[in-house]
Amino acid sequence: MFLGTHYPRLDDKGRLILPAKFRDDLAAGVVMTKGQDGCIYLFTRAEFAAMTERMAASPLTSGAARNFNRVFFAGATDEVPDKQGRITIPVALRDYAGLVRDCVVIGANTRLEIWEAARWQEYLALQEPQFAALTEEVLPGLI
């Protein structure tokens, strides 16, 4: 499980230092892809494989499933962190997420999300009031 908010920076080569607390879980390799809301999703290889199996069960006759799968897998790339815990984020993914220098890495349970810092702050400003107003109809029986 990935938790918390971290503030790494991209270096001039497009590398990001992964938060130290996650490095052991990510040492065997990661898969990055376009996330929703303008971020990058980062999965362990095992979690990405499990997601792939679940997604393979979606019917080919579903246009929405086909479209989601195309964007999700076409944008995916795998990487093994180096000894310093760095990964290189490909230019296409950096462009998609607007990453230049200041980043935010958030734990989102089964994945990490990599955000451009200002975009994350804008997202939080919109979502936190809604989060505070959520009622049990949204997440029945969970909280």
What are the contacts of 12-16 at 24+ separation with CB within 8 A?
13/88, 14/88, 14/89, 14/90, 14/91, 14/94, 15/86, 15/87, 15/88, 15/89, 16/86, 16/87, 16/89, 16/103, 16/105, 16/114
Q: Is residue 101 part of a domain?
A: yes
Q: Is residue 48 part of a domain?
A: yes
∠ Cα 99 25 111 (to 5°): 50
Q: Is residue 63 part of a domain?
A: yes
Q: What is the pLDDT of residues 66-114, one digit of tens each?
A: 999 999 999 999 999 999 999 999 999 999 999 999 999 999 999 999 9
Q: Is residue 110 part of a domain?
A: yes
Q: What is the CATH number of the domain that holds 69?
A: 3.40.1550.20
Range of the domain at 27: 5-116
Judged by DSSP in three states, 87 sits in strand
Cβ(32)–Cβ(42) below 8 Å: yes
Would you state the pLDDT for residue 136?
60
Q: What is the pLDDT of residues 27-73, one digit of tens each?
A: 999 999 999 999 999 999 999 999 999 988 988 898 888 999 999 99
Q: Is residue 121 part of a domain?
A: no
Cβ(114)–Cβ(5) below 8 Å: no
Q: Is residue 34 part of a domain?
A: yes
* CA 88 – CA 79 distance, rounded (Å): 8
Would you state the pLDDT for residue 43?
97
Number of domains in the chain: 1
Structure tokens at 89: 């984020």
Beta bridge partners of 6: 105
Angle between helices 45-56 and 63-74 (to 10 degrees): 160
Residue 143 has pLDDT above 60, yes or no: no
* CA 48 – CA 110 distance, rounded (Å): 10
Q: Is residue 54 part of a domain?
A: yes
Q: What is the pLDDT of residues 2-31, one digit of tens each?
A: 999 999 999 999 999 999 999 999 999 999
Q: Is residue 122 part of a domain?
A: no
- Record the pTM: 0.90
